[in-house]
Amino acid sequence: MKPISLLDLAAQRERIETDLENRLAAVMAHHRYILGPEVGELEKVLAEKTGMRHAVTCSSGTDALLLALMAKNVGPGDAIFTTPFTFVATAEVIELLGATPVFVDIEIDSFNISADALSAQINRIEAESELKPRGIIAVDLFGLPADYQSINLVADAHDLFVIADAAQSFGGRLDNSPVGGLAEISATSFFPAKPLGCYGDGGAVFTDDDEVASAFTSIRMHGKGTDKYDNIRHGLNARLDTLQAAVLLAKLPIFEDEIAARNRIAEDYSKGLPDVVKTPSVPAKTTSAWAQYSILVDNRDSVIDSLTEAGVPTAIYYPKPLHLQTAYASHKHQPGDFPVSEEASQKIMSLPIHPYLDDDQVHFIINAVIDACSQTGAVC
Ligand SMILES: Cc1ncc(COP(=O)(O)O)c(C=O)c1O
What does the DSSP assignment read for 48-77?
HHHT-SEEEEES-HHHHHHHHHHHTT--TT
- Cβ–ligand 1 contact at 189 (below 6 Å): yes
Distance 201 CA to ligand 1 centre (A): 10
Name the residue with the closest Cα to ligand 1, atom 8. 61
Task: Report whether pLDDT(245) > 70.
Answer: yes
DSSP string, 322-334: GGGSGGGGGG---
Task: Report whether pLDDT(376) > 80.
Answer: no
Task: Report whether pLDDT(85) > 90.
Answer: yes
Question: How far apart, in whole angstroms, are the C-alpha atoms of residue 380 and residue 378?
Answer: 7
Task: Report whether pLDDT(160) > 70.
Answer: yes
Mean pLDDT of 234-250: 98
> Under 8 Å CB-to-CB from 266, ≥6 apart: which residues?
280, 282, 288, 290, 293, 353
- Cβ–ligand 1 contact at 197 (below 6 Å): no
Distance 29 CA to ligand 1 centre (A): 32
Question: How far apart, in whole angstroms, are the C-alpha atoms of residue 149 and residue 183?
Answer: 9
* Higher pLDDT pick, 275 / 281: 281
Distance 88 CA to ligand 1 centre (A): 8
Ligand 1 atom with the shortest distance to the CA of 63 = 11
- Cβ–ligand 1 contact at 60 (below 6 Å): yes
Which residues sit opposite 177 in a β-bridge? 174
Mean pLDDT of 45-66: 98
- Cβ–ligand 1 contact at 89 (below 6 Å): yes
pLDDT score of 270: 96
pLDDT score of 135: 98
Name the residue with the closest Cα to ligand 1, atom 14. 87
pTM over the 0.95 mark: yes
Ligand 1 atom with the shortest distance to the CA of 190 = 10
Q: Which of 204-208, 238-242, 273-277 has the lowest mean pLDDT?
A: 273-277
Residue 227's pLDDT band (boundaries 50, 70, 90)? confident
What pLDDT digit, counting tens, does each position of 346-365 carry?
Answer: 999 999 999 999 999 999 99
- Cβ–ligand 1 contact at 279 (below 6 Å): no
Among 213, 277, 239, CA closest to 55:
213
Which amino acid, one-letter code, is at 316? I
Name the residue with the closest Cα to ligand 1, atom 12. 167
Share of the chain above pLDDT 70, in %: 99
Helix (H, G, I), strand (E, B) or coil at 293: strand
Among 125, 62, 116, CA closest to 94:
62
pLDDT score of 377: 66
Sheet holding 177-178, edge to edge: 177-178, 173-174, 286-287
Q: Distance between terminal CA atoms of the chain? A: 30
Q: Rounded mean pLDDT of the chain?
A: 97
pLDDT score of 158: 98
Listed by start position, the domains of the chain span 9-249, 255-376
Distance 287 CA to ligand 1 centre (A): 20
Distance 21 CA to ligand 1 centre (A): 27
Distance 194 CA to ligand 1 centre (A): 9
Distance 372 CA to ligand 1 centre (A): 31
Distance 180 CA to ligand 1 centre (A): 15
- Cβ–ligand 1 contact at 62 (below 6 Å): yes
Question: How far apart, in whole angstroms, are the C-alpha atoms of residue 131 and residue 125?
Answer: 7
Question: How far apart, in whole angstroms, are the C-alpha atoms of residue 42 and residue 21?
Answer: 17
Distance 188 CA to ligand 1 centre (A): 8
Residue 30's pLDDT band (boundaries 50, 70, 90)? very high
Mean pLDDT of 69-97: 98
pLDDT score of 379: 59
Name the fold adopted by 9-249: Aspartate Aminotransferase; domain 2 (3.40.640)
pLDDT score of 216: 98
Distance 90 CA to ligand 1 centre (A): 7
pLDDT score of 228: 84
Mean pLDDT of 315-336: 97
Among 275, 261, 253, CA closest to 361:
261
- Cβ–ligand 1 contact at 86 (below 6 Å): yes
Mean pLDDT of 307-327: 98
User: Which of 88, 163, 189 for a ligand 1 pocket mutation test, highest count of atoms within 8 Å of Cβ?
Assistant: 189
CATH superfamily, region 255-376: Aspartate Aminotransferase, domain 1 (3.90.1150.10)
pLDDT score of 276: 82
Task: Report whether pLDDT(378) > 70.
Answer: no
Task: Report whether pLDDT(380) > 60.
Answer: no
Ligand 1 atom with the shortest distance to the CA of 291 = 16
